[in-house]
Amino acid sequence: MQSLHMHTWRCKHATGTMEEYVLAAIAGGITDMGFSDHVPLPDAYVYDKKSIYRVRMNMAELPVYAAEVRALAKKHRDAANIRLGIEMEYVPSQHEEVMRALRDVGVEYIILGQHFLEDGAYYPLNSTDSDRWLCLYTDTLLSAAATGDFTFAAHPDLIHYTGNNRALYIREMTQLCAGLMEAGMPLEINLHGLGDGRNYPDPLFWDIAGEMQAPTVLGVDAHGADEVWNKELVERGREFAAAHHVNLLDRIPEERMRKV
């Protein structure tokens, strides 16, 4: 197994040292791994939205984070291949500025993890406006895919649709899967959500993705070293994938892993 979805204490809601994650992965037999901490957003954006989103590193920490990943990669190069990644939302007004910062530090892959939308909506949603948010969510992810900047899509089923228009949900998620597939972006069954009993992975979403045979990986989304290798949870993830006839890949195709 490959493990490209790992956070660090810098995002202010994960624990442990980065080296503990590396050692836990190696102990679990994972030799191909990467850190993908939550992206920092430009200061102006964070100040505006700080009541919604302050659980991430500051922009000034990005080079330090990159240097730390590189130092660990060097130290453990005989035992593992450790890459520098980031998990990020698509925020159109900030996208180019953030991409420049990521290129400056040589990020190797970007996971699309849409935890909020440009205007600050946050999940889980309350149900009053669920249909509208669902469509906005799909549009945002499809626009993100169209940029070509994202490597794969973490928890594409993050949106907690609480409306009662099942046909709309199926239509939107079918479009979403089709767009991600067209962009060559694998999907992710999120083990953090599975272990936590969250609304994702969403069984209906994965029926759709399974039916469409969308290429998919398991993602640990580790926020602590103890989550890096959880054999039982990985097994549950594989069973979940099988139950929904998901096209499960062992790893992200290497040609998608390149400097961004």
Closest approach, Cβ 186 to Zn ion, in A, equals 15
User: What x/- string results for residues 87 through 126 when contact with Zn ion is judged by CB under 5 A?
Assistant: x---------------------------------------
C-alpha dihedral sign at 180, 183, 184, 185: negative
Amino acid at 238: R
| Residue 62 phi, psi dihedral angles, 5° rounding | -55, -50
Q: Of the two residues 192 and 244, which places its CB atom closer to Zn ion in the complex?
A: 192
Q: What span, in angstroms and rounded, lies between the C-alpha atoms of 90 and 145?
A: 9
Which one of the spans 94-102, 141-149, 203-211, 216-224 is the region binding Zn ion (CB under 5 A)?
A: 216-224
The tokens describing 128, both together, are: 């009053």
d(CA 113, CA 257): 17
CB nearer to Zn ion: give 34 or 169.
34
172 lies in the binding site for Zn ion (CB under 5 A): no
Instruction: Please select the residue that binds Zn ion; options are 37, 188, 221, 227, rule is CB under 5 A.
Output: 221
**Cβ proximity to Zn ion, 87 vs 157, nearer residue:** 87
CA 97, CA 105: separation in Å to the nearest integer?
13
The DSSP 8-state label assigned to residue 90 in this structure reads -
For the segment 47-86, give every residue that binds Zn ion (CB under 5 A). none
Measured from the CB atom, is 69 or 169 closer to Zn ion? Answer: 69
Q: What burial letters (b/e) apply to 210-226, b meaning 16+ CB within 10 Å? A: bebebbbbbbbbbbebe
The minimum distance between CB 128 and Zn ion, in angstroms, equals 26
* Chain residues in the site for Zn ion (CB under 5 A): 87, 221
